[in-house]
Structure formats: C-alpha cells, structure tokens
Amino acid sequence: MKTKLKLSIVFLIFGLIFSSIIRLQFNTSSGFEFQKALITLPLPIFDFAAHSSNNLVLSSSFIGYFFFVVFGLLLISDFKSLISKNMLLVIFMLLTFAAIVFEINSLIQDFNSNFTGHHLRIGPTLFLLGLLVYLRNYRTKVKS
C-alpha cells in the first residue's frame, strides 16, 4: 500500500476522533470561555439544528473537519479527472467544506452574541463517506 494511502487513512481517523469523539465546548461571546471537554461515542451519525437548540455552546468539531479536508486533498491529487472518476470524493469534499462554513458562521454569531444553538454535527457521516472513498481508491490502486 502506498504511503499516501496510509497517511490518508490516518487523517480520516483523526477527523472522526476530533469531530465526534473528543470535543471541547466553549463560548466566545464575552471572550474565550472554556465550558468542558467531552469524550463521547460518535453518535448520532448526523445531527442538525437549522435555527436553534438548547445547546448554546460551540464545540471544537471544526478541528476534525480540517483533518477530513486533508484526507480529501490527499486523495484528490491521485485523480486526473476527478468528477468522472470519483464523484463520491467530490460530494465528500463539498459536505466537509459546508460543515466548516457552518462552524465558522456559528463562531462569528457567538462572538457577536447572536448564537442560538444551531449546529451541524456531521463528523461520523463524513467518516463513513470518507471510508467508502478510501476503500474505492484503495481497490483502484491495488488493481493498477
């Protein structure tokens, strides 16, 4: 197995760990205020609150999303025509960037004291999708 594939699976696993298993909760409305550290099961697989929720703290999930981006970039570099070869990787990257934008928006809203608890917890979903992309890419590398 190539080094790039080995490295990519490490980033995929770190993405899951830092987006869903190890999370720091904090607020920024009155300066940075640490709430607590959590170690949890990566459940639910997908959680979304579009406008508001009772959970009025931010989390460090965006750190895991950056690991997912690196994973995707490592695999993108292997494809000459990405869209025709692996549309699943394109979808993975779009979902990851959407999650990062959502987290940045939440951070800005909290900083401006407008945060209402909306969240997008998509780490386990991204991990499963990334694992599927990885396995498809691995099979392609083994055959060639």
**pTM score > 0.75 for this model?**
yes
DSSP 56-77: --EETTHHHHHHHHHHHHHHHT
Distance CA(120)–CA(106), nearest Å, equals 10
Instruction: Give the contacts of 122 (CB within 8 A, at least 6 positions apart).
Output: 19, 46, 47, 48, 95, 99
Start-to-end Cα distance in the chain: 12
> Would you say 59 and 118 are in contact if contact means Cβ atoms under 8 Å apart?
no
**Rounded CA separation 76/71 (Å):** 9
The tens place of each residue's pLDDT in the chain, 144 residues long, gives: 578 888 999 999 999 999 999 989 998 888 888 999 989 888 788 777 777 777 778 888 999 999 999 999 888 865 555 555 678 888 999 999 999 998 898 899 888 888 888 778 899 999 999 999 998 877 666 555
Give strand pairing partners of 23: 38
